[in-house]
Amino acid sequence: MSQSLTLLAGPDALRILRERGLRAEDVDILPGASGGPKWLGLEGIDRVLFGEFLQQPRTRPLHLIGSSIGSWRLACLAQKDPVAALRRFADAYLEQRYPPKPPPKLVSEVSATVLEALLGPDGAEQILTHPWARLHVVTTRCKGLLASEQSSVQLAGFVLGALANAVSRRTLRLYMERVVFHTAGDASPFTGLKDLPSVHRPLTRDNLRPALIASGSIPLVLAGVHDIPGAPAGTYRDGGVVDYHLDVDYGTGDGLVLYPHFYPYVVPGWFDKSLKWRRAGPLNFRRALIITPSPAHLARLPGGRIPDRSDFTNMKAEDRIRAWKQVLTEGDRMADELRELLATGRIADHVQALGYPHDHG
């Protein structure tokens, strides 16, 4: 039994894994969820998947789709040296420091410096010209009150959006639309998304940075990004507002959706976090393999959990950085275990069937 990892697979993924194991060539899509500092709890998994397993020769593209911090992780994978990019990202992310109640403009400025560290001198060009990685950056274009930079007005808009969403996720179309920036051209598997209004635009030299910043611009915490080049005019915010854990239609391809994730379940949107009944159903994850830290691994982390955004306010900077470094160190266990499972071809022996809580809305 796996000690540090939990492996969960939908029925189509289970069949593929039992027939031929986990092969890089079989992976069509890799999602990256929103979650702020939670990404540090996946760094060990990312290191092995991004820097080793997925670097094997491929004959077809790998579509990467991320919202918020997930899009930043995947921007590391779409560079020539993903492990070096992850290292730059982690170093800069740990060193963020803020005064009490920092204004959104300041948080946006610090975030921009983290993104520049992640990209390095050539990362943007490498992402745009990558031979097989096709990056999709999910953003949320806000309407009405949600587009305001006045905190009280924006908050009122989000309260209304949350109340409407509790009735039905389909009401989000009244308040926002999904805008996806990507490098896949006409070959993107996501251009047919119909669950919510969706716009697709090419990722370019002019909009790669603003799209990534927008995708991670948490409402009320960071400033929105206005009028991204090559996209509809408006205010863009965190892609996780509409697609928190990427519960989207991954299509009916014959390959796998490989999903390194913080949790053994998927929450569709940002407003759904507190709605325990609003969890992803089976349809979109039939061919998904979810790799997540095990309960035993979580128990070894500071506080018995992966980091989250409250650490910025509840911990002194030095204590937070020390705890987060320990999370990264513990990630070596997951990396070693995943590396061994891949080398021995025994992934299928450790996979459990993915369970699906019922979604009432």
Q: Render 236-282 in DSSP notation, one character per residue.
A: EEEGGGT-SS------S-SSEEEEE-SSSS---SGGGTT-TT----S
pLDDT of residue 359: 43
Residue 190: which of 78, 74, 64 has the closest Cα?
64
pLDDT tens for 52-101 read 999 999 999 999 999 999 999 999 999 999 999 999 999 999 999 999 99
**pLDDT band, residue 356 (cuts 50/70/90):** low
pLDDT of 360: 35
Beta-strand pair 133-142/235-238: antiparallel
Q: Which residues of 207-231 are buried (b: 16+ CB within 10 A; e: fewer)?
A: bbbbbbbbbbbbbebbbbbeebeeb
Select from 241, 213, 209, 210 the least CA-distant residue to 228. 210
| DSSP structure class, residue 76 | H
pLDDT of 207 strictly over 50: yes
Coil, helix or strand for 186? helix
Q: How confident is the model at residue 31 (pLDDT cuts 50, 70, 90)?
A: very high
Position of tokens 């996720």? 169
Instruction: Kindly report the number of other CB atoms within 10 A of residue 280's CB atom.
Output: 21
Give me the numbers of helices (H) and strands (E) for the chain, helices first please: 12, 11
Pairing state between β 5-9 and 288-293 = antiparallel
- DSSP notation for 190-220: TTT--SS-EEEEE--TTTHHHHHHHHT--TT
For the chain, the distance separating the N- and C-terminal CA atoms, rounded to the nearest angstrom, is 35
The percentage of the chain sitting over the pLDDT mark of 90, rounded to a whole number, equals 91
Confirm whether pTM is higher than 0.85. Answer: yes
* Mean pLDDT, residues 4-26: 95
Helix (H, G, I), strand (E, B) or coil at 55: helix
- List pLDDT tens digits, range 228-283: 999 999 999 999 999 999 999 998 888 999 999 999 999 999 998 888 878 888 88
To which residue do tokens 């005019």 refer? Answer: 233
- Separation between Cα atoms, residue 54 and residue 66, nearest integer Å: 17
Average pLDDT, the chain: 95
Q: What mean pLDDT do residues 159-168 have? A: 93
Q: What is the pLDDT of residues 209-238, one digit of tens each?
A: 999 999 999 999 999 999 999 999 999 999
Least confident window among 206-215, 325-334, 351-360: 351-360
Q: Given a cut of 80, is residue 120 above it in pLDDT?
A: yes
- Indicate the domain borders of the chain: 5-353
- pLDDT category, 111, cuts 50, 70, 90? very high
Amino acid at 26: D
DSSP string for residues in 113-173 = HHHHHHHTTTHHHHHHT-SSEEEEEEEEEE-GGGG--SHHHHHHHHHHHHHHHHH-GGGGG
Residues 35-58: pLDDT tens digits? 999 999 999 999 999 999 999 999
Name residues whose C-beta falls within 8 Å of residue 248's C-beta, 6 or more positions apart in sequence: 65, 190, 193, 195, 284
According to DSSP, residue 17 is labeled: H
Distance separating alpha carbons of residues 49 and 32, to the nearest angstrom: 13
Contact, 242 vs 161, CB < 8 A? no
- Residues with Cβ within 8 Å of residue 166, at least 6 apart in sequence: 271, 275, 361
The one-letter code for the residue type at 178 is R
How far apart (Å, rounded) are the C-alpha atoms in residues 152 and 146? 10
Integer Cα distance of 304 and 299 in angstroms: 4
> Tokens standing for 80?
């020539």
